[in-house]
Amino acid sequence: MKTDVLVIGAGAVGTAITRELTKYRLNVICVDKREDVGGDCSKSNSAIIHTGYDAKPGTLESQLVVAANPRYDQLTEDLDIPFERVGAILPAITDEQFEQLPAIKEKAVKNRVYDVEYLSKEQILEMEPNLNPEVKGGLYIPRESIIDPFIFVVAMAENAVANGAKFMLNTEVTGIRMEGDKVVGAETTNGYIEADYIINAAGLFCDDIAAMVGKNDYYVNPRKGQFYILDKNTGCKVNHIVLPIPTKVTKGKLMCPTIHGNMLVGPTAEDLTDKYDKSTNVEGLDSIRADVQKLIPGVILSDTITQYSGLRPNRNPEGLNIDTYDDVKHYVNLSGVRSTGLTNSVSIGTYVASLLKEMGLEMVWNENFISKRKGVVRFKELSKEEQHELIKKNPLYGNIVCRCETITEGQIVDAIHSPIPATTVDAVKRRLRAGMGRCQGGFCGPKVIEILARELGVSADEIRKGNSKSYMVCGKVK
Amino acid sequence: MYEIKCNVCVVGGGPAGLAAAVAAKKEGAEKVLIVERDESLGGILQQCIHPGFGLKLFNEELTGPEYFGRFIDEAEKAGVETLLGSMVLEVSENLVTCINSEYGVCEISADAVVLAMGCRERTRANIVIPGTRPAGVYTAGTAQRLMNRQNEMVGKKVVILGSGDIGMIMARRLTLEGAKVEAVVEIMDFLAGLTRNRVQCLDDFGIPLLLSHTVVDIKGNDRVEGVVIAEVDEKKKPIESTKKFIECDTLLLSVGLIPENELTNNAGIKISPVTKGPEVNQFMQTSIPSVFACGNVVHVNDLVDNVSAESATAGKNAALFAAGKLEKKDAIKVEAGENVRYVCPQNVVPCDGKVDLYFRVMKPNKNVKITVCDGENVLFSRKAIKVNPGEMEKATVAVDGISALTVAVKEV
């Protein structure tokens, strides 16, 4: 197999780069060792599109995130991605925190985020009635936004496919071949891929890929973040992203609405060595309770419908780095793309394209580039008339499979046969939310297995939750 | 949009909905329509292929399908109509909106509505079990559906958390199908389900029941590889030194049921914070007079026989309401006294005749006296050798002229 550019990693960053490159007349292949796009970090995070108000001024990360934020209105409209500019509130609960506000605002200005405003105690309590009444005042960051991180990546990937890119999943890179000082291709579990240019967007595993070209000047130390998701009906909600004033150690634990109306509470920050440890633990979950109660005293964590953890691909030494090397030509290495990664994935795409051009790749504009993508219909959001019409056209939309989130069989079948097919229970869940509601798949789970097996033409014991070892059932009842 | 008119619309075609519809029809309602999301009637009993149903009502031991089969026969004879494969999305005073593959969006106007949606299972997340999130963690009812309706085996080496009835029944079912059930683990120091299920499903198969134990960690990134269990102290905190790893590929959860009240909530009907179901009076009437409710959507029952009885009351009164024959009268609130977690119905309208009060105790006790009082006046009194939160109690009282009602369970 032969390609102009090989992107390693189909998380938000790898997918955004792949999509960006399809704006040029290039062959692009994106590989990922997982069974679905969406990576690791890109699917377990706080689902916030940041402004960059609190980045370290002057850094590449600051430039990328500040440039990325304004692009989301158009991008999410073009790609049919749920997105909302809910805004963030940074309340100062103590006098000490109150004194920090001017410095935070000044830092925002240094980052060229000019729309951060002070809020009085009265204003802040009017905007967030459930906030700690001892609040002294705070800051409002209007463009901090929320997104559906799963659909975001799927949408970019599907749009890239529509523009000619190829995604190879279940494909792990095991080695990178060089000729002289130049990369020429990658060995994968799916055969050798000859590539003029290679981009390492492997996130948590980017140090393993870097080592394949002899670059061992950093390593990834995963930093776990645990979260609670609360029921849409919880009695104590917030309207904005409510962020604590950061300390030297951590940005702290937040509470915010998700794009689908749940409440998200967390995360913790725990340094690990195991890149596969995505377990939750009592200590972490209890610490969320203690910290978030300082902001929102009435938070009802017993209304939780799930808890999860994600791993930030923290780089040591720290910092977002996009590197090219004189001794490893035709290769771009991305590392330390952490909390702001979901946001700045799109500007990283643009940035990496310019690096490739500098390196000598011929970049001719693809005038046939299709910028729009339509996702699977969101049945629940339609009017009754629209729902009625849809069912008349295809009766599968009249069969509700997930009662908590009102997901129809028609949508599941559509997702299974979409450009980036949903072939696992989790892939269906991430695209459609079947199994993400309050019963957590208790009702729809068996039906999703049945539909997947039918549509993929396999038996139920071949259906997986996620990767190849995660079987759901183990054969027929005797 | 497809429009239907009926006198009584019953949401849910499980045992509650079937009994309500039959009773409504018998009371003279002309058009009674059951709206059911499944392709067939019977609700959760369709997957309950074990015997043990009907002892109270029919004096016979029936399987789930045999039990609801009798109601389907009655419903057919009585002329109850059904709309299957139809998920109800919205209920209001006199309108039920549902979705059906053939008809599209259907709007059903009804003089009275009966809610009979049953309940759902509490999940792993509800009780916050830490650990990884692999495949192989199922609620007992989901596993039961996979095995009994879809013919799929969920696992080979199983730990069950919670000693609820479905959990114990699944322990036996899995064993009969060749799986090894390592243990049933229960955090409380008493059984959650019925004693007869412990005897018939665990003891008879040599499956260990570990009381005052819980699952503290789930291991395995892809499929469950094992769980860590531990004994708990009086405050239900796991005792570190008792932690023990059990290798297994499946964890089943039987940790409680929650009445399924999304529709009820959205309709603005008053919900009891204790039962999580709508508050009802002895006519099974909710805070919206034209809407009645029955079965597990009101409160979680342990015997379907009780569900059928209570649902017949709901159906009958819905028919009376539809015909304009159910008078509106003020109700008094039933108080849950000593060692009583809740009483259903929550409200009673003083009138001629007797009312069945169903209730559960907070904690197990022995040699107790159950009383129902109107102030100082004892309306009902009965001794019981033992009471258990897992087994619902009943007291039947005359409610003519009463001014208050308190149910209490006191040690003798």
Tens of pLDDT, residue by residue over A407-444, are 999 999 999 999 999 999 999 999 999 999 999 999 99
- pLDDT value at residue B411: 92
Reported as a single tens digit per residue, the pLDDT across B218-228 is 999 999 999 99
Inter-chain contact A439–B123, Cβ cutoff 8 Å? yes
The count of domains in chain A is 3
Domain B1-121+256-328 adopts which CATH fold? FAD/NAD(P)-binding domain (3.50.50)
A50 in active site: yes
Interface A:B, Cβ pairs < 8 A: 144
Task: State CA A204 to chain mean position distance.
Answer: 13
Q: Is B105 on the interface with A (CB under 8 A)?
A: yes
User: Do both A351 and A393 map to the same domain?
Assistant: no
Phi, psi of B351 (to 5 degrees): -165, 175
User: Do both A345 and A290 map to the same domain?
Assistant: no
Q: Which residue of B has its CA nearest to A394?
A: B101
Inter-chain contact A460–B155, Cβ cutoff 8 Å? no
Inter-chain contact B120–A439, Cβ cutoff 8 Å? yes
CB B62 within 8 A of CB B15: no
Q: Is B223 on the interface with A (CB under 8 A)?
A: yes
Residue A179 lies inside a defined structural domain of this protein: yes
Closest partner residue to B125 among A306, A403, A445, by Cβ?
A306
Reported as a single tens digit per residue, the pLDDT across A68-107 is 999 999 999 999 999 999 999 999 999 999 999 999 999 9
Sequence letter at residue B257: L
Q: Is B177 on the interface with A (CB under 8 A)?
A: yes
On the question of pLDDT at B390 being above 90, the answer is no
CB A125 within 8 A of CB A135: yes
Q: Can you give the CATH number for the domain in which A154 is found?
A: 3.50.50.60
- pLDDT value at residue B302: 86
Show the DSSP H helices in A254-397 as ranges: 282-295, 341-358, 384-393
How confident is the model over B360-377, as a mean pLDDT?
Answer: 95
- pLDDT value at residue A242: 98
- Residue among A260, A372, A375, A347 at smallest CA distance from A306: A260
Inter-chain contact B152–A473, Cβ cutoff 8 Å? yes
Domain B123-255 adopts which CATH fold? FAD/NAD(P)-binding domain (3.50.50)
On the question of pLDDT at A257 being above 80, the answer is yes
Residue A272 Cα distances to A9, A409, B303, angstroms: 21, 40, 49
- pLDDT value at residue A383: 96
How confident is the model over A219-226, as a mean pLDDT?
Answer: 94
**What DSSP assignment string belongs to A395-461?**
GGGG-EEETTTTEEHHHHHHHHTSSS---SHHHHHHHH-TT-STTTTTTTHHHHHHHHHHHHTS-GG
Q: What is the distance in angstroms between the Cα of A152 and the nearest Cα belonging to chain B?
A: 23
How confident is the model over A331-343, as a mean pLDDT?
Answer: 95
Confidence of residue B233 (pLDDT cuts 50, 70, 90): very high
How confident is the model over B10-29, as a mean pLDDT?
Answer: 98
For residue A257, whether the previous peptide bond is cis, meaning omega lies within 30 degrees of 0, is: no
Q: Which residue of A has its CA nearest to B99?
A: A398
- Residue among A5, A354, A21 at smallest CA distance from A160: A21
CB B153 within 8 A of CB B180: no
Mean pLDDT of chain A: 96
Reported as a single tens digit per residue, the pLDDT across B41-95 is 999 999 999 999 999 999 999 999 999 999 999 999 999 999 999 999 999 999 9
User: Do both A171 and A306 map to the same domain?
Assistant: no
| DSSP-derived 3-state class of residue A181 | coil
Residue A16 in tokens: 């955004």
Provide the domain limits for residue A446.
Answer: 379-462
CATH of domain B329-412: 2.60.40
* Distance of alpha carbon B24 from alpha carbon B312, whole angstroms: 8
| DSSP-derived 3-state class of residue A259 | coil
User: Do both A280 and A404 map to the same domain?
Assistant: no
User: Do both A249 and A386 map to the same domain?
Assistant: no
Sequence letter at residue B110: A
As for the ipTM of the complex, it is 0.94
> Which residues are CB-contacts of A299 (< 8 A; sequence separation ≥ 6)?
A130, A236, A255, A263, A265, A289, A292, A293
Q: Can you give the CATH number for the domain in which A232 is found?
A: 3.30.9.10
Of A32-41, A188-197, A241-250, give the range with the top mean pLDDT: A188-197
Reported as a single tens digit per residue, the pLDDT across B307-324 is 999 999 999 999 999 999
- pLDDT value at residue A478: 80
On the question of pLDDT at A248 being above 90, the answer is no
Q: Domain-by-domain residue ranges, chain B? A: 1-121+256-328, 123-255, 329-412
A267: left (phi over 0), alpha (psi -120 to 50) or beta: beta
H or E element in which residue B408 lies: strand B405-411
Q: Do domains B1-121+256-328 and B123-255 have the same CATH topology?
A: yes
User: Do both A230 and A266 map to the same domain?
Assistant: yes
On the question of pLDDT at A251 being above 90, the answer is no
Closest partner residue to A278 among B102, B128, B132, by Cβ?
B132
Q: Which residue of A has its CA nearest to B138?
A: A442
On the question of pLDDT at A247 being above 80, the answer is no
Instruction: Please name every residue paired with B271 in a beta bridge, in sequence order, or none if there are none.
Output: B278
Name the active-site residue from A50, A240, A260, A388: A50
Confidence of residue A249 (pLDDT cuts 50, 70, 90): low
Reported as a single tens digit per residue, the pLDDT across A129-162 is 999 999 999 999 999 999 999 999 999 999 999 9
Residue A234 in tokens: 């919880």
User: Do both A136 and A228 map to the same domain?
Assistant: yes
